[in-house]
Amino acid sequence: MLNLEQCWRAILRRDRRADGRYVFGVATTGVYCRPSCPARRPLRRNVRLFATPAAAERAGLRACLRCRPNAAAARPAAALDLGGLARRVAQNLERPWRERELAAAAGVTAAALRRACLEQLGLTPRALVEAARVGRLKTGLRAQSGIAAATYAAGFGSSSRVYERAATRLGMTPRQYQRSGANVRIATCRFATPLGRMTLAATERGICFAHLGEGGEAALREEFPAAQVARVKSGEEPWRSWRAALQRALAGGEGEAIPRLPVDMRGTVFQLQVWRYLRHLAAGETRTYTEVADAVGHPRSARAVARACAANRIAVLVPCHRVVPRSGHDGGYRWGAMRKRMLLKTESRR
């Protein structure tokens, strides 16, 4: 049932959030519109509400030519089937898929598509296509179809474009990925902390993996099944310095903050934005998922921020524990809610 008072207030505000939920007809003009229509507002006594455009047309009204309420563009961003769009893109990667083409395929305007992608996925439409291409590239490389063949099958115009994206998309060169991480050298060590055993791993670029609790080495192997993983002693440098700095910080000593160690972060553009922002928060500071979304320039992408935190592989050094729900509770944490509470309590004392 439509609440007439609420609907009328949304019409007066031209509230886009109400689009797709109902339309309103004007008896004096014989036209029906969506709530956000930019046309002049009619008198309330001449307005009728309809749940769908079809209902308005059965009543003898015709669609407004300005707001096109019977077009798919009237659907709210949350109602778009981005999964279906992503599958369609993946099946036709030979096309350039510019933003206007994507919008036409989804049946919405380019602005509506961009808003939906940012709200639901934390990605731009261009990044959605990029993700599909990288996914096809990975499939081709794993199938041993050859780097050149996999590159062009994924819709990349040249191998240079693939190598430009290799570090952050594949985590290694295409040849190394094809060999399941062969020739990628990763050093790892384990040591005790106040939050349990930590497994730390690093490439030549920096720390790429930090795991709290048991199962760290198994999780590392899942990331790089054929990488050259070498155990090192935690007493060697720079591991000794890294271990000491982390142990002091996690023990909660006065003035001991989480150290700024070199990290090798690998993820999507949006994930990297979130992780970099979190690394600039001071100890004791927290942000809600919505506040982080605003800070990285993607308002209303709180769910995507939560997914980015869950995908973080570098515990503590990328402090996703500082992101909390608006409700005031601690919220989830990849390495356990208890550890998150301990981290927040330790940092709050500073």
- Distance from C-alpha of 42 to C-alpha of 25, rounded to nearest angstrom: 10
Q: Which two tokens stand for residue 341?
A: 């509470």
Residues 6+ apart with CB under 8 A from 317: 207, 210, 258, 259, 261, 263, 279
Our answer to whether residue 320 is catalytic in this structure is yes
Pairwise CA distance, residues 99 & 106, whole Å: 11
Cα distances (angstroms) measured from residue 169 to each of 132, 250, 266, 268, 305: 11, 31, 7, 7, 19
- Residues 230, 186 contacting (CB under 8 angstroms): yes
Helix H or strand E segment including 187: strand 185-193
> What's the DSSP call for residue 192?
E
Query: In 3D, which of 77, 22, 28, 26 has the Cα closest to residue 54?
Result: 22
The catalytic position among 67, 189, 208, 320 is: 320
Residue 189 annotated to the active site: no
Question: Please, what is the Cα angle at 105 between 168 and 77, to 5 degrees?
Answer: 75
Catalytic-role residue among 33, 64, 117, 208: 33
DSSP code per residue over 117-175: HHHHTS--HHHHHHHHHHHHHHHHHHTT--HHHHHHHTT-S-HHHHHHHHHHHTSS-HH
* HEC assignment per residue over 316-327: CCCCHHHEECCC
**CB-CB contact of 285 with 321 (8 Å):** no
Tokens representing 201? 């791993």
Burial class of residue 204 in the structure, from the number of CB atoms within 10 Å of its CB (0-12 exposed, 13-18 middle, 19+ buried): exposed
CB count in 10 Å sphere of residue 251: 12
Q: Which residues are catalytic?
A: 33, 320
